[in-house]
């Protein structure tokens, strides 16, 4: 959910109440999801540019208390894979990279349209053009939805207050 002020929220249903995280807490959660392994307080502090380890610890504990993270016996935190969250579902994580799910659909429909044009270029008549129209419309919709999701990804380069 976008508040219109550039802040994005992540929500999960937790025991019949809605839990939300935003701002730096959301950035911490995205970082751990992207890394795909447990992280300590100091690592989060350095990676996200927090001024103190207590800031990183606060956000990690907040995520653990809400069920987004699990704290192991060594004091490291890892993502709770049993929690299905709203803002994560439109994204695919591949080897530490995050891609909008619609990106794959957009690429496939674009390739299909290009191949269609290559094979039927010489006999391009109104009927063939009308057959191509739904594919072009689907392609436009998928690319639009992909670009719309881009601002949902938190930036790890922005300054931390």
Average pLDDT, whole number, for the chain?
76
Report strand pairing: 17-22 vs 69-71: unpaired
Neighbours of 37 (CB within 10 A): 9
**Residue-level pLDDT at 155:** 57
**Contact partners, residue 44, CB within 8 Å, separation at least 6:** 28, 31, 32, 50, 56, 59, 60
Read off the pLDDT band of 14 (50, 70, 90).
very low
Report strand pairing: 91-94 vs 77-79: unpaired
Rg (CA), the chain: 21
Average pLDDT for 50-63: 86
**Residue-level pLDDT at 113:** 92
Share of the chain above pLDDT 90, in %: 15
The string of DSSP codes covering 51-96 is SSHHHHHHHHHHHHHTTSEEE-TTS-EEE-TT---TTTTTEEEETT
**Residue-level pLDDT at 17:** 39
Residue 54 has pLDDT above 70, yes or no: yes
Residue 157 has pLDDT above 60, yes or no: no
User: What are φ and ψ of residue 157, in 5° steps?
Assistant: -95, -15
| Span 86-143, pLDDT tens digits | 666 677 777 767 788 889 999 999 999 999 888 888 887 888 888 889 999 999 999 9
Closest CA to 61 of 94, 91, 28: 28
Closest CA to 98 of 48, 23, 156, 20: 156
Average pLDDT for 31-39: 81
How far is the C-alpha of 25 from the C-alpha of 46, rounded, in Å? 15
Helix, strand and coil content of the chain, in percent to the nearest 5, comes to: 50, 20, 30
Read off the pLDDT band of 20 (50, 70, 90).
low
């Amino acid at each position: 959910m976008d508040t219109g002020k550039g802040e994005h929220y992540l929500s999960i249903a937790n025991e019949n109440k809605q839990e939300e995280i935003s701002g730096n807490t959301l950035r911490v959660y995205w970082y751990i999801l992207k890394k795909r392994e447990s992280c300590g307080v100091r690592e989060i502090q350095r990676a996200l540019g927090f001024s103190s380890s207590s800031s990183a610890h606060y956000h990690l504990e907040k995520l653990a208390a809400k069920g987004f993270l699990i704290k192991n016996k060594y004091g490291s935190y890892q993502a709770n894979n049993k929690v299905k969250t709203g803002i994560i579902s439109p994204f695919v994580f591949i080897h530490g990279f995050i891609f909008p799910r619609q990106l794959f659909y957009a690429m496939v429909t674009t390739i299909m349209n290009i191949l269609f044009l290559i094979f039927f270029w010489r006999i391009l008549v109104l009927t063939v053009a009308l057959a191509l129209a739904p594919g072009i419309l689907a392609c436009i919709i998928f690319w639009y939805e992909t670009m719309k999701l881009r601002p949902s990804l938190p930036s790890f380069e922005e300054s931390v207050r």
